[in-house]
C-alpha cells in the first residue's frame, strides 16, 4: 500500500486519458464489433463538448456517426476529421494484460487493442475540439468529425458506401485527415498516398490420381511454379528496399502468400489446388503492366491455371504536398510552428483515405505518435499517455490551421 507521501505525489490522470481508456474497453472487435456501444459513448462525449451529432445508417448494422462544428463561413468547403471505430482480433494468450482492459503501466503505457489503430486519434480530435471551444475560438470553415465502421475489413460497408450517400455529399468536404502510423523516432510520419491492395487467388487444375504414383501434369506442379514466380518477384522488391537507403516500404510492391487451399486426403493427388496472395502495389508501379506479369506467371505454370481478384484497387491518386497547395501549406506550417519534423511517405497498407482520394477529396494520413514503436495489429499494442496527451495539443495547432485555410 502506498504511503501518504506517495499518494500525495501520485499523478492524477487527465480526463482525456480516462475517456480514451473507456473507449478502448468497448469491444469493437471483429467479427462482432459492438458498434452501438461505441456510438453511444461517442454521442455522450459530443453532447458534453457541445457538438451536434447525427447517425447515418449506410447498411444494415453499419452506422456512421457525424459531429459538426459550424464555421463562420459555412458555405466554404469543410474539413473532415475521420476515424474508424473497429479494431482487429487479438490472441489473448500473447498479451501481457487482458487486451481490452486498457491497463496503464507505472510509466504511463496504456495497453489495449486500438490504442494506436486508431481509437487514440478519435479521442484526440474530440479533446482538441473541446480545448479550442473552451478558449472561445471559432473558425472560418465548418469541421466535421466522422466515426466509421468496418475499416479493418476493407471499408466496403463503411466509408466506401458512405461516400456515395446523400448525407456525405451534404458535408461539402474540402480536405480530410485520417489515420497514419506511429514513428519510432522524434519525427512524425505523414502519408499522402497509399499502395493499391490486390488480393489474388490463383487456381491450378491438373490430373488426379493415387498418392503412390508419379502422376503427370498435376495441380501441385503448376502451383509450385506459380508460387515461385510470385515469391521471386517478392524477393526482388525486398532487395530493392534494403539496398536503396532512400526508399520506404510504401515505395516498393510487397507480395505475400496468405492462403493455401485444396486436397481431400493424404493418398489422393488433388485435381485442384489454390493459392492466395496479398499484394500491395506502389503508386509508381503501372497497374496494367503488373497484371500482365500475373498473366504471364500463370501461363508459364501450365494449362488450366486461372486467377481471380478478391480485391483489386485501381486508384493511385496522391494528395499534393507541394508548397503551392493551400491544404498542404496550412498543415505543414502548423506542424513547423510547433517544431515538428515531418517525414512524407506512401502508406504501406490501406486505409479509408483511399476511398476519399479516389472520389477526388485530398486526404492526409496522420497519427501524432512519435517515439513510439509501430504496433498496429500486433500483440501488446500500447500508447503512452504522455504521447497521447501531446497529440491533443498537436491537433489544437493543426485543426485551426486547416479550418482557417
DSSP letter assigned to residue 216:
S
Separation of alpha carbons 172 and 80, rounded Å: 9
Q: Are 138 and 125 in contact (CB under 8 A)?
A: no
Coil, strand or helix at 356: helix
Q: Which of 127, 151, 179, 381 is flagged as catalytic?
A: 151
Separation of alpha carbons 132 and 336, rounded Å: 20
DSSP strands (E only) in 272-370: 272-281, 305-312, 342-347, 363-366
Is 323 marked active-site?
no
Is 151 marked active-site?
yes
Taking Cα atoms as reference points, which of 27, 184, 92 lies closest to residue 379?
Answer: 92
Report residue 249: phi and psi, to 5°. -55, -35
DSSP letter assigned to residue 310:
E
Taking Cα atoms as reference points, which of 53, 375, 24 lies closest to residue 183?
Answer: 375
Q: Output the CA torsion 153→158→159→163 (10° steps).
A: 150
Residue 193 C-beta-side C-alpha neighbours within 13 Å: 20
Separation of alpha carbons 334 and 326, rounded Å: 12
Separation of alpha carbons 281 and 260, rounded Å: 22
Neighbours of 25 (CB within 10 A): 14
Residues 238, 240, 244, 247: is their CA dihedral positive or negative?
A: negative
Residue 213, exposed/middle/buried by CB under 10 A (0-12, 13-18, 19+)?
exposed
Q: Are 113 and 90 in contact (CB under 8 A)?
A: yes
Q: Are 368 and 123 in contact (CB under 8 A)?
A: no
Separation of alpha carbons 87 and 33, rounded Å: 8
Going by C-beta distance under 8 Å and a sequence separation of 6 or more, which residues neighbour residue 296? none
Q: List active site positions.
A: 86, 151
Amino acid at each position: 500500500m502506498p504511503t501518504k507521501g506517495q499518494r500525495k505525489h501520485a499523478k492524477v490522470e487527465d480526463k482525456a486519458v480516462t475517456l480514451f481508456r473507456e473507449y478502448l474497453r468497448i469491444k469493437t472487435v471483429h467479427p462482432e464489433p459492438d458498434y452501438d456501444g461505441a456510438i453511444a459513448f461517442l454521442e455522450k462525449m459530443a453532447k458534453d463538448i457541445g457538438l451536434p451529432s447525427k447517425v447515418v445508417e449506410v447498411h444494415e448494422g453499419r452506422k456512421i456517426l457525424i459531429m459538426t462544428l459550424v464555421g463562420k463561413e459555412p458555405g466554404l468547403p469543410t474539413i473532415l476529421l475521420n476515424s474508424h471505430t473497429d479494431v482487429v482480433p487479438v490472441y489473448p494468450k500473447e498479451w501481457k494484460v487482458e487486451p481490452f482492459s486498457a491497463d496503464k503501466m507505472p510509466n504511463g503505457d496504456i495497453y489495449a487493442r486500438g490504442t494506436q489503430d486508431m481509437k487514440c486519434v478519435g479521442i484526440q480530435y474530440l479533446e482538441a475540439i473541446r480545448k479550442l471551444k473552451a478558449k472561445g475560438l471559432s473558425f472560418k470553415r465548418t469541421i466535421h468529425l466522422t466515426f466509421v465502421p468496418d475499416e479493418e475489413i476493407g471499408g466496403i460497408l463503411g466509408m466506401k458506401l458512405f461516400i456515395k450517400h446523400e448525407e456525405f455529399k451534404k458535408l461539402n468536404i474540402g480536405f480530410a485527415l485520417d489515420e497514419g502510423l506511429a514513428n519510432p523516432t522524434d519525427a512524425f510520419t505523414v502519408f499522402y498516398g497509399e499502395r493499391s491492395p490486390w488480393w489474388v487467388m490463383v487456381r491450378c487444375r491438373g490430373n488426379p490420381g493415387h498418392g503412390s504414383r508419379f502422376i503427370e501434369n498435376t495441380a501441385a506442379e503448376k502451383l509450385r511454379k506459380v508460387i515461385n514466380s510470385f515469391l521471386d518477384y517478392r524477393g526482388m522488391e525486398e532487395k530493392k528496399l534494403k539496398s536503396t537507403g532512400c526508399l520506404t516500404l510504401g515505395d516498393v510492391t510487397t507480395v505475400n502468400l496468405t492462403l493455401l487451399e485444396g486436397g481431400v486426403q493424404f493418398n489422393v493427388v488433388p485435381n485442384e489446388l489454390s493459392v492466395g496472395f496479398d499484394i500491395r502495389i506502389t503508386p509508381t508501379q503501372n497497374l496494367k503492366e503488373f497484371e500482365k506479369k500475373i498473366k504471364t506467371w500463370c501461363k508459364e505454370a501450365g494449362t488450366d491455371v486461372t486467377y481471380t481478384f478478391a480485391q483489386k484497387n485501381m486508384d493511385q491518386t496522391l494528395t499534393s504536398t507541394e508548397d503551392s497547395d493551400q491544404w498542404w501549406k496550412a498543415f505543414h506550417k502548423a506542424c513547423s510552428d510547433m517544431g515538428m519534423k515531418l517525414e512524407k511517405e506512401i502508406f504501406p497498407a490501406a486505409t479509408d483515405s483511399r476511398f476519399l482520394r479516389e472520389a477526388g477529396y485530398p486526404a492526409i494520413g496522420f497519427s501524432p505518435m512519435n517515439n513510439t514503436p509501430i504496433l498496429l495489429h500486433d500483440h501488446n499494442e500500447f500508447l503512452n499517455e504522455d504521447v497521447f496527451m501531446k497529440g491533443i495539443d498537436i491537433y489544437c495547432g493543426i485543426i485551426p490551421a486547416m479550418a482557417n485555410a
